[in-house]
Structure 1
């Protein structure tokens, strides 16, 4: 198999598909893309625990497979979408890396550091992103101005904001549309994500240094853990919020987020939150 920029030839495809619980068609179709996206999102949580535990975040495919497939851990956007991209590549999808500026309801200008993917299918472009965390897409969206889609109990939309080619991914909140991130269509590559990853995983102003961030989007709830504050949001916008004792964290990660920690990592995480 010829080497590609996304490394699909290095992926243990059977192990990855087993990890996400996908047993459907493997042809590069829209149905397959939807199934893969939905299965990955439901199975592999967003988390930054490597940073909290004082370790680097490697993005080579072997490290990603070891962590997220074999060790049944999660990851953040670069890790998740690079593993997913390798699977799409291996299955024959034509894909492009993109980069977005996170908004989370605000219009202030943030750096373009979020990784997402675009896929070309039957003359149409789709965005697909399994690494955005608590309010992430559950399935791909066609890249069309004004498109809206119900995914599980949540509604998403895309709008083209101006003539410069800026697109905005939104989700509907109880009080109206909420901007998640803005992105352009300039091609990005794993080498670009390696640079962004260094900043996000080491800079003191990064939201992922200094605190635990774990998130999981599911069709019927959105779960987040920031520091020791756990929040579960239901489709009717009823929120359960509680403070989690340090000793409770490993069990919560297992039951709510599907993250399995080794005994040593569990002990280190508890110790971090006791400081």
Structure 2
């Protein structure tokens, strides 16, 4: 089982939860039930966060710095109603859980989608609850889990709304998360039990938000999973994936991209940002 996180009293190893406006966060995600340091609260908060806050890399696309301190995260994702990519989601969720009294441990995961051995750049969390350890991840984009997934060796298969996930203990401290679409299991990522901290993610985020070799620079990615559909906007291609494996696709004109970000994913951009995104989208169509 994952190692327990060290005390959050050490700021370098905690998640900065003291700086989070928990009431504002809970209002943003639409959680109005009881809050306690237990598995039921974690499940409810995780599902509400997944439903309310989409994955998006708009600021990375526009060449902006991605600050990861709690104040910046809540200004962007709570007050301004934006989404974020994995580090933003993971650090915001970890801070909220810390405020609630649930201590999360951060991990580095290797994305396995598409095959190949990739650097361990994805952020995932495990959380010790009175009911046992679980994987918590609201930041894997359109394919990530909606609810926490229990860590039970050798394997856990979890039905989540109309989707199904599988968490497998591969031995030597490695866990692998997969998702089933139709009759096919697709590996999402693998992670190890050794902990990572805020400073580790700051270094990884700097690389992923600035390097021309990063999958997040030079392209647009907005994603969200609902109970029965996964929606993805990749550059100008808008797709809807269903649990039976069928996929619907629509190619957007550049000027339609900001509208889709607003109408499909619930993100309202400023006029300047909408114009910048449309301009970037026009570059995507020229490359095609």
The C-alpha deviation readout for 1:49-76, integer Å capped at 9, x for no partner, is: 0011121111111111111011100000
Match of 2:265 in 1: 257
Partners in 2 of 1:99 and 1:226 — Cα distance?
Answer: 24
| Matches of 1:20 and 1:228, distance apart in 2 | 28
Aligned to 1:50: 59
Tell whether the 8 Å contact from 1:3 to 1:9 is kept in structure 2 after alignment.
Answer: no
Shift of 1:123: 6.1
Summarize deviations over 1:144-166 as a string: whole Å, max 9, x none: 1211111011000111123x211
Structure 2 distance, partners of 1:11, 1:3, is 17
Shift of 1:28: 1.0
Give the Cα–Cα distance (whole angstroms) in 2 for the partners of residues 155 and 2 of structure 1.
37
**Whole-angstrom CA distance in 1 between matches of 2:232 and 2:179:** 17
Matched, 1:180 2:197: no
Report if the CA contact (8 A) 1:27-1:91 is conserved: yes
Q: Structure 2: 5+ residue runs without aligned partners? A: 1-7, 284-288
- 2:121 is equivalent to residue 113 of structure 1: yes
Deviations 1:202-251 (A, max 9, x none): 11111101000110011110000111111011222221101111111111
Query: Paired residue for 1:60, among 69, 72, 76?
Result: 69
Match of 1:101 among 107, 110, 115: 110
Tell me if 1:23 matches 2:18: no
Equivalence for 1:248: 256
The answer to whether 1:238 aligns with 2:246 is yes
TM-score with structure 2 setting the length: 0.92
CA distance in 2 between counterparts of 1:125 and 1:2 reads 21
Residue from 84, 87, 94 that aligns with 1:75: 84
SS for the counterpart of 1:15 is helix
> What's the CA shift for 1:2?
5.9
Helix, strand or coil: the match of 1:220?
coil
In 1: Cα distance, 2:130 partner to 2:282 partner = 53
Per-residue deviation, 1:188: 0.5
Alignment counterpart, residue 169 of structure 1, candidates 157, 166, 177: 177
Question: Residues 54-101 of structure 1, C-alpha deviation per residue, up to 9 Å, x if partnerless?
Answer: 211111111111110111000000001101111000000021111100
Q: Contact conserved, 1:147 with 1:159, CA < 8 A, in 2?
A: yes
Bigger CA drift: 234-243 or 74-83?
A: 234-243
CA deviations on 1:102-143 (whole Å, 9 max, x unpaired) are 00152x210000001111012621110000001110000111
- Cα distance in 1, alignment partners of residues 200 and 9 from structure 2: 22
Correspondence 1:39 to 2:62: no
Provide the aligned C-alpha RMSD in A: 1.4
Separation in 2 of the partners of 1:196 and 1:3? Answer: 21
Offset, 1:195 = 0.6
Tell whether the 8 Å contact from 2:63 to 2:210 is kept in structure 1 after alignment. no
2:235 to 224, 227, 230: 227
Give the structure-1-normalised TM-score. Answer: 0.96
- Provide structure 1 residue ranges, at least 5 long, that are not aligned to the other structure: none
Moved over 6 A (4+): none
